[in-house]
Amino acid sequence: MTEESEAQTVSVPKRPLQSRAGLARARRIVVKVGSSSLTSVAGGISDEALTSLADVLAARRQQGTEIILVSSGAISAGLAPLGLSRRPSQLSTQQAAASVGQGLLMARYTEAFGRHGVTVSQVLLTVEDLMRRTHHANAHRAMERLLNFGVVPIVNENDTVASHEIRFGDNDRLAALVAHLVKADALILLSDVDSLYDGPPSAGARRIPEVTGMQDLEDVRIGKVGKAGVGTGGMVTKVEAATIAAESGIPALVTSTENAAAALAGEDVGTWFTTRGVRQPIRLLWLAHLARIQGSLVLDDGAARAVGERRRSLLPAGIVAVEGHFEPGDPVALRDTSGRVLAHGLTNYASDELPKMLGRSTKELAKELGRGYERSVVHVNDLVILHPHGAGAGEQAPSRTGQSDGTAATLGA
């Protein structure tokens, strides 16, 4: 990730929806449906589940709301035709299954929406498509055109070509980025559970009706894998995705596929994540929540304050240790000496050239090693603060953008 791959920042002119009741009037909604709602390992695609979702979404499309559907299920739908009895762990087998299943899934959607006179299209995305400026602009343009035509774009990760390194891995977070891409009014995440509970659903678990910040999630126990055996991230990735959306100014609702109609009507179902903060550049959302962190820079107290409180670029003089192996441009964590992650940033130097620079001024380094060493280690524009220095472990970082004043952006993490 380099500066040329920076995606465009556009501010949202309209006011975000204030409550789930506003969904009834929303003009553009991203709906994500998980494998567990559409498919089973044994039976492949459930016609009944897919058709009833298509009925609900097509009806809303016919009323004039633009709908973008992010649908999982390709891998799961491709298992039976390949004679596989469970979800494979090998990437190439997942890719093969997705390649078979995606076509089947689209055929069913085309038919189910087509019954209502609604045209659908297939949009397969990779991380690169959303992070690189030119790809991002392309994806945005194509999506807008499709929506202008009244089409319902059906989005999935391009599983057949995405490698481990560049994979989103789950469609929940992909859906959050798609909501950001199309500047949706809301994101609805549908799965097999009707809301977020204070623990994995069981008798006695309490529904969480609304999440306004990280403090509402402190006592929530979230299971990683859903019970159906076909989903990938369980509730964890749904909460992450809803948080990413909420932190970039898009409210999110987590509920079950059965509740899709009620959710779109603005009824009191599911868990509503209220917006915090304003729209963030997609690159910063990626850096905060999605980037594969390659190593750590340990900051002395002065540097931790400069970065974590005063939002300055990180200079070599304030670094006391380097951990991991990384190249220039890679995402790294910035920690204080207690191990707490203060920020994520893109490093200007590789891990093997940093040790000789630690604790030294940029002037001194430039004189001794050349002009190339005058740069900061992490520039403020490539930095996102997750926990301001000194904030308690459970404290929520205040959400704000700081780009215009030359300081780093802060996102609640």
Ligand X SMILES: N[C@@H](CCC(=O)OP(=O)(O)O)C(=O)O
Ligand Y SMILES: Nc1ncnc2c1ncn2[C@@H]1O[C@H](COP(=O)(O)OP(=O)(O)O)[C@@H](O)[C@H]1O
> If you write DSSP's letter for every residue of 292-336 in order, what string do you get?
---EEEEE-HHHHHHHHTT--PBPGGGEEEEEE---TT-EEEEE-
394: which DSSP letter? Answer: T
41 binds ligand Y (CB under 6 A): no
CA 270 to chain centre: 20
- According to the binding rule CB under 6 A, does residue 170 interact with ligand X? yes
Rounded-to-integer distance, Cα 404 and Cα 388, Å: 19
CB under 6 A: which stretch of 23-31, 156-164, 296-304, 331-339 binds ligand X?
156-164
234 is in an annotated binding site: yes
Angle at the Cα of 238 from the Cα atoms of 233 and 241, rounded to 5 degrees = 115
Interaction partner, residue 76 (ligand Y, ligand X, none; CB < 5-8 Å by kind): ligand X
Please report whether residue 73 would count as binding ligand X according to CB under 6 A.
yes
Which partner, ligand Y, ligand X, none, binds residue 95 by CB below 5 to 8 Å per kind?
Answer: none
Binding of ligand Y by 372 (CB under 6 A): no
Say how many residues touch ligand X, by CB under 6 A. Answer: 17
**What distance in Å separates the CA atoms of residue 160 and residue 124, rounded to the nearest whole number?**
10
Annotated binding-site residue? 159:
yes
Residue 35 known to bind ligand: no
Residue 159 contacts which entry, ligand Y, ligand X, none (Cβ below 5-8 A, type-dependent): ligand X
Number of residues in contact with ligand Y under rule CB under 6 A: 24
The footprint of ligand X on residues 83-102 (CB under 6 A) is: 98
Whether 183 has a binding-site annotation, put simply, is no
Which pair of structure tokens corresponds to residue 27?
A: 């003009």
Name which of 228 and 391 has its Cβ closer to ligand Y: 228
- Residue pointed to by tokens 């995705």: 241
Q: Give the residue with the Cβ less far from ligand X, 233 or 295.
A: 233
Tell me which of ligand X, ligand Y, none is bound by residue 166, counting a contact when its beta carbon lies within the kind-specific cut-off of 5 to 8 angstroms. Answer: none
Nearer to ligand Y by Cβ, of 271 and 407: the residue is 271
- Cβ at position 333, least distance to ligand X in Å: 25
Q: Which residues pair with 29 in a beta bridge?
A: 67, 186
Three-state secondary-structure class, residue 342 = strand
Within 199-228, which residues bind ligand Y (CB under 6 A)?
A: 199-201, 220-223, 226-228
Q: CB-wise, 126 or 348, nearer to ligand X?
A: 126
Which residue, 95, 100, 93, is CA-closest to 78? 100
Is 336 known to sit in a ligand binding site? Answer: no
d(CA 37, CA 40): 8
DSSP per residue over 113-161, as a string?
Answer: HHTTT--EEEEEE-HHHHHSHHHHHHHHHHHHHHHHTT-EEEEEE-TTT
> For ligand Y, which residue of 152, 235, 334, 413 counts as binding (CB under 6 A)?
235
* Nearer to ligand X among residue 21 and residue 161 (C-beta): 161
Whether the Cβ atoms of residue 131 and residue 286 lie closer than 8 Å to each other: yes
Give yes or no for a contact between 284 and 180, defined as CB atoms under 8 angstroms apart: no
| Residue 75 contact partner, candidates ligand Y, ligand X, none, CB within 5 to 8 A by sort of partner | ligand X
Closest CA to 184 of 140, 150, 236: 140
List binders of ligand X among 207-266 (CB under 6 A): 231-233
Looking at the Cβ atoms of 45 and 383, the one nearer to ligand X is 45
Sign of CA dihedral 192, 177, 291, 335: negative
Check residue 50 for interaction with ligand X (CB under 6 A). no
Q: Residue positions in the annotated binding site for ATP?
A: 32, 191-192, 232-238
Binding site for ligand X (CB under 6 A): 34-36, 72-76, 98, 156-157, 159, 170-171, 231-233
Q: Residue positions in the annotated binding site?
A: 32, 72, 159, 171, 191-192, 232-238
Binding site for ligand Y (CB under 6 A): 34-37, 191-193, 196-197, 199-201, 220-223, 226-228, 231-235
